[in-house]
Amino acid sequence: MLKKDYLLAQITELAKKFAQLMQQKNEGEDITLHVDKYYANLNLSADWIVNAESDDIMRRVGDWQLVELLVKMMLEDPRFENNLSIINKARTLLFEVQELDRTYSFERIELQELIDKRLKR
């Protein structure tokens, strides 16, 4: 039970931070440093994400809800906007999240559509 409580608190905190990140991005701020802090909360770095395989990311992050937040962060990271290999990695991670949580999610569908749109550019 303690581990679930910890994960729920971590997910909630990262979700709040992601919402703040989106607000800052909409206001035109450079969010790169903020994104790096959020990666660090997951014991990751942007460089590691670039070089890691999707399976390694899933293992390191551990929880599918945190991986889903990570996918959102990857898609909003200005360094990765036009990086097709990272966008493909985000798609793979999102697919793995969907496999772990079979609940229908409009948010995941929107994420998938965003990924598909970016890959078509």
Summarize pLDDT for 62-106 with one digit per residue, the tens: 888 999 999 999 998 999 988 999 999 999 999 999 999 888 889
Q: Looking at the 3D structure of the chain, how many domains does it have?
A: 1
The whole-number pLDDT of residue 2 equals 61
Q: Which structural domain range is residue 57 located in?
A: 2-120
Query: Which residue would you say has higher pLDDT here, 116 or 27?
Result: 116
Which phi-psi region, left, alpha or beta, contains residue 28 (left: φ > 0; alpha: ψ -120 to 50)?
left
Question: How many angstroms separate the Cα of 76 from the Cα of each of 2, 39, 118?
Answer: 31, 12, 12
Lookup: tokens for 74:
């990857």
Distances (CA, A) of 25 to 22, 73, 77, 78, 100: 5, 12, 10, 10, 30
Its sign, for the CA torsion 64, 70, 76, 81, is negative
Judge whether residue 57 has pLDDT over 60. yes
The pLDDT tens digits of the residues spanning 45-54 come to 999 999 999 9
Binning pLDDT at 50, 70 and 90, where does residue 4 land?
Answer: low
pLDDT band, very low/low/confident/very high, at 116 (cuts 50, 70, 90): very high
**What's the token pair of residue 88?**
């493909």
